[in-house]
Amino acid sequence: MGQTALVTQSGQKPVVQVIDFHKRYYKHPAVQGVDLTIRPGEIYGLIGPDGAGKSSLMKAVAGVLTFDAGTVEVFGINLDSEAAAERIKGRIGFLPQGLGLNLYPDLSVEENIDFFARLRLVSEAELAGRKQRLLATTRLLKFRDRPMKNLSGGMKQKLGLICTLIHEPQLIILDEPTTGVDPVSRRDFWAILAQLLHEQGITALVSTAYLDEASRFHRLSLLYEGRVLAEGEPDTIQALAPGSLVVLQPERQMEALAGLKARFPQVEALGSWMRVFVNEADPPTAIQQVQQVLAGIPVRTIYADEPELEDVFIALLHQQQLARHHPIKAASAETAANVRSGNGVAIEALELTRDFGAFRAVDDVSFRVRQGEIFGLLGANGAGKTTVIKMLTGILRPSQGAGHVAGADMHRAGMAIKQRIGYVSQAFSLYQDLTVVENIRLYAGIYGLSMADTRKRTEWILDMGGLDGHENDQAGSLPMGLRQRLALGCALVHRPQVLFLDEPTSGVDPIGRRHFWDILFDLSRNEGVAILITTHYMSEAEHCDHLALMFAGRIVADASPAEMKRQVEAEVGGLLELTTDQPTLAMERLLEQGYKETTLFGRRLHLFSRQPDSDRRRIPALLSAAHIEVASIMPRPLSMEDVFVYWVTTLERQESAVATGTG
C-alpha cells in the first residue's frame, strides 16, 4: 500500500471507528465521549498528558478492555462483546504501556520473540525469516541470546516492537512506546517504525505524552482529561489556534516578564530569552504587539517563529477554557530580603568520579552553578546524571574528587549540605496516602521548623503551588501537575539555597510544566536559588541558563543553549525541512546522495546542510529527477533535541570506532 495508496484510498472503510466512547473506573470517569477514525495505512497518534484517557481508549480498541458507552469498530467488527473482540485479535498487535514490562525478563531476546510467534501460530519457517529480518532492521542481531533484562531501554523498546509485529498484524496498537527512552533512542525507534510500517502496509495507533512527537504522525488526536481537544493532520491542528510566536531577549528581564504576563496568557522565560505566543496575529503584527507592551524596555533581539504544538495545545486549552493557570506572585518583601547578592558559587563539582565495581559511572566531572542560575544536566539514560546528583546531595560518596554545595564541603559537612538543599526526584517521592498539608507538615518537622514557621511556610507553599482547596486531599489523588508542585513545595519548606531536580516533570501536562517552570524561574531570579535540573524533555532544556551534556559518565559539552546550537551549526551546518508526498522514497534518495543526517518526521524530512542556500535549490532538482515532488524546503532553527541527538550519535560512532579499532 504505502503512503501514496493512503491518499487515493482515503474514502475506503476505516480500520478503526470509535464513536462517543465512554469509560469510567468505579466513580472516576477516564474517557468522556471520544470519536476516532483511523484509515488503512495511517500512523495515527493519540497525544496527551498522563490521565488524558489514551490507554483506556487503546485497550478498548485492542479488545482487552470493556467500556461503558459508545461503539468501537475494528475491521468493521463491532466490539460489543468479548466474543466479538476475539475476532479481531488475529489481525492486531498490542504493545501495552511500560517500557519492556510486557516482555519476559529472564528469557533471551530470541526466546521472547519465539514465544510471541508461537502464541500467534507463526510457522517455524516463516518465523526464522521474519525474526532474522526484524532483528537486522532493529540492529539487535548480535544480542539475540542476551536475557531481556540486560537490555538498555531503547533495546527493550525495539524488542517490544518486534514481538508486536512478529505475526504480521494489520493493525498495531502501541501505548506510549517512547516514554522513558532518551531522545536518541526515540528518534531511532520512530525511524524503524516508519520503515517497517511502510514496508508492510500496516496501520498503527500510537500514543505519546511528548507533544513534540506529533510531527511523526499522519493524523492525530489531542486528548486532555478524557476529551478530544483537536484532531486531524498536524498542520490542521496547528491552524486551529492561529497565532505567532515571538522570541525575544529583553534587557530588564523580570520587568519585561511581568509586563508580558499581564497582557499575554502564554509567556515563557528561557534563560535570558522569552517566548510569547500571540493569538491570531501574523508575525509582524505579533512583534509589534509585543514591542508595545515592552515600551521602554530595551530589547536585544526579537523575531517571530512558527508556534510549536505545545503552544497550540495550551492555546486550545485556553480557547476551551480548560486551562487553570495560576499567576505567580511576585516575591514578597520577606523572601526578597533573602536574595543572595552577587554571583556566589552555589554548586561546585571538582573532578567528581564514581565507580561501581569495574564500571565508572561518573568520570572526572567538573562544573559550577552560580546563585540564581538554572543549570541543566542532559544525557541519555545511564549517562551518569543521577549519579552526579546523588553525590552532590550526599546520598552517594564519590570515589574521587571534591565538591562544595551551598558553601559546605561535600566530604566534611554532609549534614550542613542536607540542611541547605532541596530535592525533587524523578518519581513523585512524597507520601501519596498523606494529605497535602500532612506532607508539608511532615517535611517541616523533618527540617526542624518551629510551629510558627511551619504555619507560615504551609501557607506559602499552598499559595505558590496553587494548592488552595486541596489542603485535605490525599497527595495520590492530585493530578500530576499539582503533585509535582507539592513535591517542589516540600523541597522548599526550609528555604534552601540550592535546589536539585531530577526529571521532575515526567508525565506532567504542558500547562503544569509551564507553571512549574514559572515557579523555578521566579525562585532563581527573585530568591537567588541555584537550580540544578535534569530532564528528558529537550524543549525544557531551553529554559536553562546553562547546560552540561553528559555522555558515558563524562561532560562532553558545557555551554548555554544558544552556544550549543551555534557549535553544532558550525560543525554540520543548518537544518532544512523538506515537505513531500513521498517522504520515504525521498529519504532513500537523499541518503544515497550522501545526506547522511536525514530524518523522517511523518510527511517531512529533516536534514543538515553545510550550504543551506545552495542545497535548497539543489535538492528539489535532485528529487524531481526521481519523480518526487517537493512541496517546500525551508531552513529551520535547530532545536535542543537536534543538538542532543547530534552529540550523542557522533560520540557513539566515535566510541564504536575506538572499540573496533582496539578490538
Partner 1 sequence: MNESLHPLQFVYVWLRQLQVMTIKELRQLSRDRALLIYIIYIFTLDIVIAAGAINTELNQSKLVVHDADHSAASRELIYRFQPPYFSLVGTVTDANQGLYLLDQGDAMLFLDIPERFAATLGQGERAAKVQLLIDTSKATPGFLASSYSARIMADFSREWASQQLLRAGLEPGSVPIIQNQRRIWYNPTLDEAWYGTLAQLLTMITVACLLLPAAALVREKERGNIEQLLVSPLTPFQVMFSKVLAMILVTLVGTAVSLFGVMQPFFGVPIKGSAPLFFALTALYAFTTAGLGLVAATFARNSAQVGMLVLLMVIPINILSGDRTPLESMPLWLQYLTNVFPLRHFIEITFGILLRGAGLAALWDSVLAMTLLGCLLFALGLWRFRRQFG
Partner 2 sequence: MNLKRLLAVAYKEWREILRDRIFFLLAFGLPIVLMLVFGYGITPDVENVPLAFVDYDHSALSRDYAQHYIESRYFNFKGYLHSLQEADGLLTGGKIRVAIVIPEHFQEDLMAGRAVAIQTLVDGANTGPARIIQGYADGINSAASGELQMSYIARHLGISLERAQTIIQPIKLEVRYLYNQEVRILWDVAPSLIMFILLLTAPMLTALSVVREKETGAIYNIYASTISGAEFLAGKLLPNILISFINAVILWLMVTFYFGAPFKGNLLFFFFATLFYVICNSSMGLLISLMVRTQIAALMITVVLGFIIGIQFSGMLTPIAALTGSNYVIAHLFPAMYYNTVIQGAFLKNLGLAALWPEVTLFVAYSAGLLGACYFLFHKRTRT
Closest to partner 1 by CB, 492 or 511: 492
3-state secondary structure of 474: strand
Closest to partner 2 by CB, 103 or 643: 103
Point out which span in 38-46, 115-123, 235-243, 597-605 binds partner 2 (CB under 8 A): 115-123
Closest of 488, 494, 548, 490 to residue 522, by C-alpha: 488
3-state secondary structure of 14: coil
Partner interacting with residue 431 (select from partner 1, partner 2, none; CB below 5-8 Å by kind): partner 1
What region does 89 belong to: left with phi over 0, alpha with psi -120 to 50, or beta?
alpha
Placement of cell 552532590 in the chain:
392
- If binding is defined by CB under 8 A, does position 145 make contact with partner 2? no
Interface residue with partner 1 among 314, 430, 585, 643 (CB under 8 A) is 430
368: enclosing H helix or E strand: strand 359-370
Q: How far apart are CA 538 and CA 181, in angstroms?
A: 12
Q: How far apart are CA 156 and CA 161, in angstroms?
A: 9
- If binding is defined by CB under 8 A, does position 1 make contact with partner 2? no
Q: Measuring CA to CA, how many Å separate 90 from each of 67, 121, 180?
A: 21, 10, 29
CB of 104 to partner 2, least distance (A): 6
Point out which span in 196-204, 244-252, 421-429, 465-473 binds partner 1 (CB under 8 A): 421-429
Interface residue with partner 1 among 394, 481, 602, 612 (CB under 8 A) is 394
Listed in sequence order, the residues at least 6 apart from 371 whose beta carbon sits closer than 8 Å to its beta carbon are: 340, 342, 343, 344, 345, 346, 497, 528, 529, 530
Q: How far apart are CA 201 and CA 662, in angstroms?
A: 42
Closest to partner 2 by CB, 115 or 431: 115
Closest of 185, 285, 257, 207 to residue 31, by C-alpha: 207
Q: β-strand 421-424 against 498-502: which pairing, if any?
A: parallel
Partner interacting with residue 111 (select from partner 2, partner 1, none; CB below 5-8 Å by kind): partner 2
Interface residue with partner 2 among 97, 195, 200, 419 (CB under 8 A) is 97
- If binding is defined by CB under 8 A, does position 446 make contact with partner 1? yes
- If binding is defined by CB under 8 A, does position 264 make contact with partner 2? no
Closest to partner 2 by CB, 88 or 575: 88
Q: Please give the residues from 486 up to 525 whose contact with partner 1 meets the rule CB under 8 A.
A: 494, 500
- If binding is defined by CB under 8 A, does position 428 make contact with partner 1? yes
3-state secondary structure of 597: coil
Q: β-strand 43-47 against 203-208: which pairing, if any?
A: parallel
At 494, give phi and psi (nearest 5°): -105, 20
- If binding is defined by CB under 8 A, does position 101 make contact with partner 1? no
Instruction: Decide if 493 contacts 413 (C-beta within 8 A).
Output: no
At 99, give phi and psi (nearest 5°): -60, 110
- If binding is defined by CB under 8 A, does position 457 make contact with partner 1? no
Interface residue with partner 2 among 119, 136, 634, 657 (CB under 8 A) is 119
- If binding is defined by CB under 8 A, does position 147 make contact with partner 2? yes
| Radius of gyration for the chain, computed over Cα atoms and rounded to the nearest angstrom | 26
- If binding is defined by CB under 8 A, does position 224 make contact with partner 1? no
Interface residue with partner 2 among 40, 53, 93, 620 (CB under 8 A) is 93
- If binding is defined by CB under 8 A, does position 116 make contact with partner 2? yes
CB of 103 to partner 2, least distance (A): 7
Instruction: Decide if 36 contacts 16 (C-beta within 8 A).
Output: yes
Q: How far apart are CA 187 and CA 32, in angstroms?
A: 32
Number of residues near partner 1 (by CB under 8 A): 35
- If binding is defined by CB under 8 A, does position 28 make contact with partner 2? no
Q: β-strand 345-356 against 400-405: which pairing, if any?
A: antiparallel
Closest to partner 2 by CB, 85 or 586: 85
At 467, give phi and psi (nearest 5°): -100, 5
Point out which span in 78-86, 278-286, 432-440, 650-658 binds partner 1 (CB under 8 A): 432-440
- If binding is defined by CB under 8 A, does position 21 make contact with partner 2? no
Partner interacting with residue 158 (select from partner 1, partner 2, none; CB below 5-8 Å by kind): none
Residues that bind partner 2 (CB under 8 A): 25, 59, 62-66, 82, 85-86, 89-90, 92-94, 96-98, 101-107, 111, 115-116, 118-121, 147, 163, 173
Residues that bind partner 1 (CB under 8 A): 393-397, 413, 415-416, 418-421, 423, 425-434, 438, 441-448, 474, 494, 500
